[in-house]
Structure 1
Amino acid sequence: MRTGPPTARTVLTGAVTGQARHVVTSAVLNAAHQGGEALIPVLIGVVIDRAVGRGGIVDLLLWIGVLAVMFAALSTGFRYGARAGERAAEQAAHQLRIAVTGRVLDHRGGAEHRHLPGALASIATSDAERVGMVNLALGAGTGALAGLLVGGVALLVVSVPLGLLVLVGAPLLLWLAQLLGRPLEHRSSAEQERAAYASGLAADLVAGLRVLKGLGAAPAAADRYRLASQHSLAATVRAARARAWHDGILLVATGVFVAAVGLLGGRLATQDEISVGQLVAAVGLALFLLGPLSTLSWVNAEFAQGRASAARIATVLGAPPATAGGDDRPAEPVRGRLRLHDVRYGALRGVNLHTEPGELLGVVATDPVAATDLLRCLAREVDPETGRIELDDVPLPTLDPGRLRAAVLVAPHEADLFEGSLLDNVTAAASAPEDVTPALAAADVDEVARALPDGVRTRLAEGGRSLSGGQRQRVALARALAAGTPVLVLHDPTTAVDAATEARIADGVRALRRGSTTLLVTTSPALLAVTDRVVLLDAGAVRADGRHPDLLRDDADYRAAVLT
């Protein structure tokens, strides 16, 4: 059994063995088709010698009928062989897309490291398709080899020198194709890498277009994309040039080879060493060999590109997880007691913090980086460098990541919406999708829906760009509230709404989350006013702990963080 991370070889092998039945079917039918095609010139030579040369009309009709049956069988074999190959290619590509998507969505994370989202999309689509095409190429290549073998044996029967020429020359052409495929594989990998980067950069720039325009940075962003696009174009041209040299050299070599077969056959015919029918068969076989040899050239190019794409897929599938996953389940039922013991990570310098079950706790961080690091640790995107975090006295690293995220939801400040209706976005992860009315009301999304033409059924543009910033925040908050997790961590959920709306949302969150543990990482006075308790995170550690009004009155640093 294979151990260790996936490699290009294992990805390719898995794509083939996963579709073994269809690949074998395609290979057998293609081999039968190409072998039969190789026999057609021989059969025509027999017709010329027997039916035309010294036979009658009955013999001619008989052999024409044999040819008709052969062509019908060849057509059927080609049709179903191609169908099996296409199925193997498409199904392998689909399974690779599923595997890449599953790894990207894995709760352990890590697959996105050093990859833009657009680049990951390119790997899951274009690269998966290229690897899948290896299955189609295998069937076609097997058929081409069978055609060469049958053609070579047939030529041996017609003439030993002609047969030896084919049996010796064909392997030399295959060796040349393999040699020419190496630079093509290298340049194809660079082409896919550059194209994926340009695609990912374009997706990021489009997503942040409003911000870029607001900052006056659109020209600089356009220049950056233009440079990436130029590099992608250069890589594509280099790959196309390598493909052209690959195909051109093989085409010339193949033409020279076929011409040599034809010339040798003609010389043998003039010396009466073979009959006219055998000469026709030899020339027909020589012309037939163009097909298998061209197919092998295409197969070699597909293999080269497939290996390059398989290596890129392997980097995603084999990416080490950002956090090690445990196997334990959270305590049942989840009470929601969080404890941080001397947690150190990034800007955090020995955080000691706890929540009681059902508590609404505010966290005010004087350093935004410390707030972000705290959220990453709670979401288990990373593990603390030292210290530990516990949920109901169970250390987070021992818990299964999927089950942990079902118990603890960390809703970041920058939340993405998806194309679909407003209601679809809210119910995406809802614990009770049939009734999200309380979450909609708590986040004040009712007011947003009233302003839309179809209410909550209104379809949103990609990324929710048809909504204002404050409306997007409220929809994202409603989605987090609708999840109904035992522990909910919200990071600045109301920075883009007005004061009156913020006050309504604060009361709504307080009412809806009553009895469930909630952390509000924010500096909003309106939200902090409804908390049970607030901790001040200063210089990476908890420096103050108390009720919001008391801290406002007694702590100057707290006042500065909250009121300025």
Structure 2
Amino acid sequence: MGRSGRAVLGRAVKGQWRGVAFGSALGMAHQAGEALVPVLIGVVVDQAIARGDLGALLRWLAALAVVYLALSFGFRFGARAGERAAEQAAHALRVALVRRVLDPGGGAGNGRPPGALTSIATEDARRAGAVNMALMSAVSALAGLLVGAVALLRVSVPLGLTVLAGTPVLLWLGHLLSKPLEHRSEAEQERAAHASGVAADLVAGLRVLKGIGAEAAAVARYRRTSRDSLAATLRATRAEALQNGVVLALTGGFIAVVALVGGRLAAQGDISLGQLVSAVGLALFLLGPLETFSWVNAEFAQGRASAARIAEVLAAPPAVVPGGRPLPVPVRGAVRLRGVTYGGLRDLDLDVAAGDTLGVAATDPADAAALLRCLGRRSDPDSGTVELDGVPLRDLSPADLRTAILVAAHDADLFAGTLRANVTAGLRDDAGTPHGGDVTVVEGAAGVPIPDAPRPAAEAAADPGRAMEAAADLGRAMEAAAADEVARALPDGLDSLVGEHGRSLSGGQRQRVALARALAADRPVLVLHDPTTAVDAVTEARIAAGIRDLRRGRTTILVTTSPALLAIADHVVLLDRGRITGSAPHADLLRDDITYRTAVLA
């Protein structure tokens, strides 16, 4: 996809050129038929009515009926082809945007809230795709204009020349008038996207806002944002109204000039009555194509503004560049950091043996977040290396890496669907394809499963043995995460719907379901970040034992300050001020290191 707004529009039109060409051909036929109607009416006046010839009248009326049928067919199916091209182009842009946002290399969402990206993928994609319909309409209107001008030339050369000389001037003025609209339309879409982003953030955090009594502040913030968006929309609407009004006035004046010239010619006897009727009818017909050009200019202006915003997302550089080396086969799970500097981390050295469970207690949450980003390769360290089985992560593709390392973030999202679908979202079949019962997934830039296309239910039942094994794995993961209690508490068990973002569940239930999903994915290396902060102490102890038993022999890194989780680790390190300042079993660090004791027991 192109890296500029012009290239985005070019690709949108090129990808639908057959539909645009077909629609344009039918639209040209429609406009040509519309232009021929006043010509035929003039012929009827001269050949039949003026002579009182009934037979000629019937013949020409039949010809007029055929023209009406042809132009009606052309309009119906031409508009259908144009709308289809516009919708398909918009869909292709949406797919390209979603693919870019979900690219394992990341980087597309930097500085943009989810609501803004949604606005770009919906409204901006629609406006850019609509350029296909506008282009088809422009070609059709141009054909009608040319046919009308030729017809006028046959009636009178001065009339035809008037039209041919005035039309380019009107088109040029319309293009100049569309420039302010383009700039204001871009600002309108930018403010609308920002308002959508703020609204999405407020809705997602509604429970928190109510809990701290910040509803009034949230409403005030959205009101200000909404007013800014409204002001930008009004400015764009005023610019569009001004353009339409001025172009309509110019067009009306132009048509009046054509009618005046035709009337003078008829008064002088240079043209017949029927030709005068045709000339006036053609002058009125020309109003339609010229108004279409005004609309086309507005559509192109808005399409260019939207295409520029789409191009910014598509051309955003990736956060990490894919490497060319394959994953080690098999993946043993040894992780090593050497001299890693990133964020608050300073020359960090860390070794995790294959199959070990390592606890990492960070005194600063920002340091924990930086470590997680490096381990999941959401970002590459400023200096130093992170290795998996001796292979630097920089040399691996992020998509391949996340089949070996799963970083389960503290704030992992759940998706609209069943409890079963959410837990099995990270499972993979023998070919390495992700699947999840009634939902299949790919992994986003953060290693979080993202729903994709549905898979047939028959596929799950194709191999009964495999289905039983998968059910057993699911049960073990649910039990280890204490999510089996969540399933028992819901009316339909695993088939219960959890709602968007799992809002029908409590915070502790959501956390356990997300943990069960991470455990069910069964990656060689699993990194868990504070997976039990919203559960009670008894449940936390059960989860700690479940993680220990389920992950025995597979590399697990627990980034947490939970004593229950750190107690199951083979080894614990203290991350303080960006460096490892302590390394020992949990009990020894509790006894000997006051900083560790403060971080864990405070």
Counterpart amino acid of residue 524 in structure 1: S
Structure 1 residue 118 corresponds to structure 2 residue 119: no
Q: Distance in 1 between matches of 2:190 and 2:592?
A: 57
Give the superposition deviation at 1:270.
1.0
Identity %: 64
1:504 aligned residue: 542
- Map 1:356-371; keep pairs closer than 5 Å: 356-371=353-368
Q: Distance in 1 between matches of 2:576 and 2:254?
A: 79
Please, which of 532, 549, 555 is the counterpart of residue 587 of structure 2? 549
Q: Secondary structure at the match of 2:359?
A: strand
Counterpart amino acid of residue 315 in structure 1: E
1:470 aligned residue: 508
Q: Distance in 1 between matches of 2:292 and 2:250?
A: 14
Report if the CA contact (8 A) 1:423-1:457 is conserved: yes
Structure 1 residue 374 corresponds to structure 2 residue 367: no
Counterpart amino acid of residue 417 in structure 2: G
Please, which of 482, 497, 510 is the counterpart of residue 444 of structure 1? 482
Give the superposition deviation at 1:452.
1.3
Q: What are the superposed Cα offsets for residues 489-523 of structure 1, whole Å, 9 maximum, x if unpaired?
A: 00000011011100111111111111211100011
Q: Distance in 2 between matches of 1:506 and 1:431?
A: 25
- Unaligned 5+ runs, structure 1: none
Q: What are the superposed Cα offsets for residues 179-219 of structure 1, whole Å, 9 maximum, x if unpaired?
A: 10000000000000000000110000110111122223222
Please, which of 343, 346, 364 is the counterpart of residue 346 of structure 1? 343
Report if the CA contact (8 A) 2:357-2:570 is conserved: yes
- Map 1:481-560; keep pairs closer than 5 Å: 481-560=519-598
Q: Distance in 2 between matches of 1:507 and 1:73?
A: 77
Give the superposition deviation at 1:55.
5.5
Query: Which stretch shifts more, 217-226 or 106-115?
Result: 217-226
Structure 1 residue 394 corresponds to structure 2 residue 391: yes
2:321 aligned residue: 324
Q: Secondary structure at the match of 2:130?
A: helix
Report if the CA contact (8 A) 1:100-1:317 is conserved: yes
Please, which of 202, 226, 229 is the counterpart of residue 229 of structure 1? 226
- Map 1:75-474; keep pairs closer than 5 Å: 75-431=72-428, 433=436, 434-435=470-471, 436-474=474-512
Q: Secondary structure at the match of 2:339?
A: strand
Q: Distance in 2 between matches of 1:22 and 1:515?
A: 58
Counterpart amino acid of residue 440 in structure 1: M
Q: Secondary structure at the match of 1:406?
A: coil
Q: What are the superposed Cα offsets for residues 38-73 of structure 1, whole Å, 9 maximum, x if unpaired?
A: 111111111111122226221111111111111111
Q: What are the superposed Cα offsets for residues 18-56 of structure 1, whole Å, 9 maximum, x if unpaired?
A: 001001111111112111211111111111111222262
Q: Distance in 1 between matches of 2:567 and 2:529?
A: 16
Q: TM-score, normalised by structure 2?
A: 0.92
Q: Distance in 2 between matches of 1:175 and 1:552?
A: 79
Q: Distance in 2 between matches of 1:327 and 1:218?
A: 50
Q: Secondary structure at the match of 1:466?
A: coil
1:35 aligned residue: 32
Query: Which stretch shifts more, 324-333 or 468-477?
Result: 324-333
Q: Distance in 2 between matches of 1:337 and 1:439?
A: 23
Report if the CA contact (8 A) 2:26-2:74 is conserved: yes
Give the superposition deviation at 1:484.
1.2
Report if the CA contact (8 A) 1:133-1:302 is conserved: yes
Q: What are the superposed Cα offsets for residues 75-126 of structure 1, whole Å, 9 maximum, x if unpaired?
A: 1111111111011000000000000011011111111011110000000000
Report if the CA contact (8 A) 2:567-2:586 is conserved: yes
Query: Which stretch shifts more, 73-82 or 313-322?
Result: 73-82
2:467 aligned residue: none
Q: Distance in 1 between matches of 2:485 and 2:286?
A: 73
Counterpart amino acid of residue 288 in structure 1: F
Query: Which stretch shifts more, 318-327 or 52-61?
Result: 52-61
- Map 1:62-81; keep pairs closer than 5 Å: 62-81=59-78
Counterpart amino acid of residue 22 in structure 1: G
Q: Distance in 2 between matches of 1:429 and 1:48?
A: 77
Q: Distance in 1 between matches of 2:551 and 2:301?
A: 57
Q: Secondary structure at the match of 1:428?
A: helix
Report if the CA contact (8 A) 2:358-2:569 is conserved: yes
Q: Distance in 2 between matches of 1:546 and 1:187?
A: 62
Counterpart amino acid of residue 217 in structure 1: A
1:19 aligned residue: 16
Q: Distance in 2 between matches of 1:278 and 1:359?
A: 95
Q: What are the superposed Cα offsets for residues 303-353 of structure 1, whole Å, 9 maximum, x if unpaired?
A: 000000000000000001111111222101111110000111111111110
Report if the CA contact (8 A) 1:431-1:482 is conserved: no
Q: Secondary structure at the match of 2:378?
A: coil
Q: Distance in 2 between matches of 1:196 and 1:108?
A: 24
Report if the CA contact (8 A) 2:29-2:70 is conserved: no
Q: Secondary structure at the match of 2:564?
A: helix
Give the superposition deviation at 1:544.
1.6
Give the superposition deviation at 1:418.
1.3
Q: Distance in 2 between matches of 1:266 and 1:12?
A: 44
Q: Distance in 2 between matches of 1:539 and 1:181?
A: 56
Q: Distance in 2 between matches of 1:281 and 1:18?
A: 40
Counterpart amino acid of residue 562 in structure 2: S
Counterpart amino acid of residue 117 in structure 2: L
Q: What are the superposed Cα offsets for residues 442-470 of structure 1, whole Å, 9 maximum, x if unpaired?
A: 10111111111111211112211211111
Q: Secondary structure at the match of 1:351?
A: strand
Give the superposition deviation at 1:556.
2.1
Query: Which stretch shifts more, 12-21 or 22-31?
Result: 22-31
Report if the CA contact (8 A) 2:360-2:559 is conserved: yes
Q: Distance in 2 between matches of 1:98 and 1:8?
A: 17
Report if the CA contact (8 A) 1:431-1:484 is conserved: no
Q: What are the superposed Cα offsets for residues 374-400 of structure 1, whole Å, 9 maximum, x if unpaired?
A: 011111111111110001100001101
- Unaligned 5+ runs, structure 2: 430-435, 437-469
